[in-house]
Amino acid sequence: MNKSELIDHIAAHADLTKAAAARALDAVILGVTTTLKKGGEVSLVGFGTFAVGARAERMGRNPRTGEEIKIKAAKNPKFRPGKMLKDALN
């Protein structure tokens, strides 16, 4: 499912126009992104938790030359599924 299909699904199930569903989805994505940028986490009970994980600086290898390179530390988004989501899939 891509973003436009998700907007169609939201519009159909929430009795909204596609434009209103698109604005709602964009607002949710912006809210999650803003919270994660600030180092917080977003918990949707039953669905899951979005959080920020830290990846330490490490050494890697350039596949073309074999030369060792330093890979910078980075922050990565993480998602932990909730119990209801896990149960729905099993």
Instruction: Find out whether 82 and 44 touch, Cβ atoms under 8 Å.
Output: yes
pTM for this structure? 0.79
What pLDDT is attached to residue 12?
96
Residue 46 structure tokens:
């039953």
Summarised one tens digit per residue, pLDDT across range 30-73 is 999 999 999 999 999 999 999 999 999 999 999 999 999 999 99
Question: What one-letter code names the amino acid at 60?
Answer: G
Summarised one tens digit per residue, pLDDT across range 2-41 is 999 999 999 999 999 999 999 999 999 999 999 999 999 9
Residue 42 structure tokens:
């977003």
H/E stretch holding 52 reads strand 48-55
> Max Cα separation, the chain?
57
Q: Which domains does the chain have, with CATH numbers?
A: 3-89 (4.10.520.10)
Tell whether the torsion through CA atoms of 44, 48, 54 and 60 is positive or negative: negative
Backbone angles phi, psi at 79, to 5 degrees: -130, 130
